[in-house]
């Protein structure tokens, strides 16, 4: 009987030479937040895009926080029924104008998302 083996590493490159033959009992863990994944590539995505990323986008209506700007925009559309029009400006910032469904309007600044896909 062998237990579950979890490899912890803080950087994805630490896994690249790792060869695992018995995949059933192996999981790949993030040493920073202790999340574990069954597949190396999933962990790799976590390390590159997910882990340590502080939520940078706050919904100003319900104070919920999001890591990505496009998720915030989606949240506002789905949850608050708010249509958001992106106005691309010069410089690193996008200023989004928001019209609240009640009729009042407010302006929300949304920083440009680097890995927006």
> Under the rule (CB under 5 A), what is the footprint of Zn ion?
30, 32-33, 51, 59, 61-62, 64
From CA 5, how far away is CA 96, in angstroms rounded? Answer: 47
CB closer to Zn ion out of 9 and 26: 9
CB closer to Zn ion out of 75 and 86: 75
Q: Which residues, in sequence order, are CB contacts of 110 under 8 Å at separation 6+?
A: 57, 69, 72, 73, 86, 93, 94, 95, 96
**Per-residue DSSP letter, 21:** S
**Which tokens in the block code for residue 16?**
């690249």
CB closer to Zn ion out of 59 and 98: 59
In the complex, the smallest distance separating the C-beta of residue 48 from Zn ion, rounded to whole angstroms, is 11
């Amino acid at each position: 009987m062998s237990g579950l083996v979890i490899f912890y590493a803080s950087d994805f490159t630490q896994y690249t030479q790792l060869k695992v033959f018995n995949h059933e009992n192996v999981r790949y863990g993030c040493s920073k937040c202790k999340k574990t994944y069954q597949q190396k590539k999933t962990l790799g995505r976590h390390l590159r895009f997910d882990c340590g990323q502080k939520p940078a986008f706050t919904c100003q209506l319900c104070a919920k926080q999001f890591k990505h700007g496009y998720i915030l925009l989606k949240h506002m559309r789905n949850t608050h029924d708010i249509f958001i029009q992106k106005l691309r400006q010069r410089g690193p910032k996008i200023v989004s104008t928001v019209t609240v469904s009640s009729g009042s309007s407010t302006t929300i600044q949304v920083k440009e998302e680097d890995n927006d896909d």
